Amino acid sequence: MEEQNYFCEGTDKAPARSLFNALGLTAEEMKRPLVGIVSSYNEIVPGHMNIDKIVEAVKLGVAMAGGTPAVFPAIAVCDGIAMGHVGMKYSLVTRDLIADSTECMALAHHFDALVMIPNCDKNVPGLLMAAARINVPTVFVSGGPMLAGRVKGNKTSLSSMFEAVGAYTAGRIDKDEFEEFENKVCPTCGSCSGMYTANSMNCLTEVLGMGLRGNGTIPAVYSERLRLAKHAGMKVMEMYRRNIRPLDIMTHDAFMNALTVDMALGCSTNSMLHLPAIAHECGVEIDLDIANKLSSVTPNLCHLAPAGHVYMEDLNEAGGVYAVMNELNKKGLIKTGCMTVTGRTVGENIEGVKNKDTSVIRPIDDPYSETGGIAVLRGNLAKDGCVVKRSAVVPEMLVHTGPARVFDCEEDAQAAILGGKIVKGDVVVIRYEGPKGGPGMREMLNPTSAIQGMGLGADVALITDGRFSGASRGASIGHVSPEAADGGIIGIVEEGDMISIDIPNYKLELLVDDAEIDRRMKNFTPKKKELKGYLKRYAAQVSSAAKGAILNA
């Protein structure tokens, strides 16, 4: 590939060059490849407050390797701050807004290559979707995970804070203990310290081949991340010279690797929304059922918070994502021929990488379970499927039957839980929170955390057409499809109906006879909400969660 940018020659490009002059670019800079640095920096999201430092390091790396860097922004929502109010309706919907706006900026200004700098939940998949659309040489480097907090000498994280709300309400902790959680669970900048959605997606960016080693695990506050950022800037120039593009990397095999490692790591259930959406942009279609197929042969090797008591910093010290992949490859579960942004194949990247801590990454022959961390359930209550983080469910709740406690929004369910109205054995049903019905498919971290905090985690299940934060744990079953707003059977569940959950056999059933279900469905009209602005457009275009909540054209 010729080493110059699109604008450097030709009288027809002179108007653009005159505007580059206005930017203060020199003639020498104008001749070099123009590299867009997509910065997700802002001052409201802890995972993004350090990205300005990452940006400067990337710019230096690009310049050192012969490119001309130019920064433009991408938005990001903090799910923790948005949780529990109307703000959460605006979280998932930003994924497509980020993809659209980045596509617009990158193609309007004819960048030769890109470095994407995301960190939090929808920001990572949104930029991966954009990378596939734009398809110029691209490298990802995230802002990195937060260090774990410390409360009473124990490591902890944001999920502990949400659960402390329920514990305090139930009188299980006092005010001083509650305030200690508030002040200590989030001690540094970075994406929250457990295997939540942001860290799940940043780890899977490594697996897909779009990020360098350590992208998902090196803590935000480590200077090692600045070195990683410089190398990302240098590496994108190598990708440019070799003409290696996202669609050369994000192939069908790469997505199978991502789903496999997802199972081994015990990633957030949100990956079951994001991986299909990213794959769709790459021309690869992922059926939800492939998750169970891969899960049946992929052992679960990691129990990071909230499933266990280890954190991203521990995974990093144990060898990171590459160590997990190398364990899986011992049984031939990784497709090693995939190209990556390192300029080498997956097999070359992971060769010889050691598992340095078998308490964090279980050996392939001694896993937590022989099956993967995520399961897709089906049944009359979820004909198109629903998703559960199986690795975060206590054994006694893997099979459960109980009476439905039905709520048409998250707030009503939360009030009932904190008000002591939910008892052992109940199955909490929260509907009209799906992609269309929410709209925006809010995360149900508040109610799941309240259930845990009230001491009901081993006795109460929650199912919803909404979704869950990666910080949720317990028998939390989301993405129920079809959703209530789309005429799904979850919309006709009545208080006291018995619901059967059988996670080992991938079943979710409403135990009401077919004739009664038919009668209810004939009389069922889904509720409608008055909407305006972006949410109105989103609700009109969004597909089912079973298809990744992608937007229909």
Q: What CA–CA distances, in Å, run from 489 to 84, 350, 387, 406?
A: 25, 45, 16, 13
Query: With helix as H, strand as E and coil as C, how does 319-379 read?
Result: CHHHHHHHHHHCCCCCCCCCECCCCCEHHHHHCCCCCCCCCCCCCCCCCCECCCCEEEEEE
The DSSP output letter for 429 is E
Sequence-separated (6 or more) residues with CB below 8 Å from residue 237? 33, 35, 62, 65, 66, 67, 113
Query: Angle 255-130-298 (CA atoms, 0-180°, nearest 5)?
Result: 15
Measured in degrees and rounded to the nearest 5, phi and psi for residue 473 equal: -140, 170
The span from the CA of 362 to the CA of 407, in Å, is 40
CA 73 to chain centre: 20
The span from the CA of 62 to the CA of 459, in Å, is 54
List the catalytic residue out of 160, 449, 469, 472. 469
The span from the CA of 407 to the CA of 413, in Å, is 6
Is 101 among the catalytic positions? Answer: no
Quickly tell me which residue has 């992608």 as its tokens: 550
CA 67 to chain centre: 31
- By annotation, the residues acting in catalysis are 469
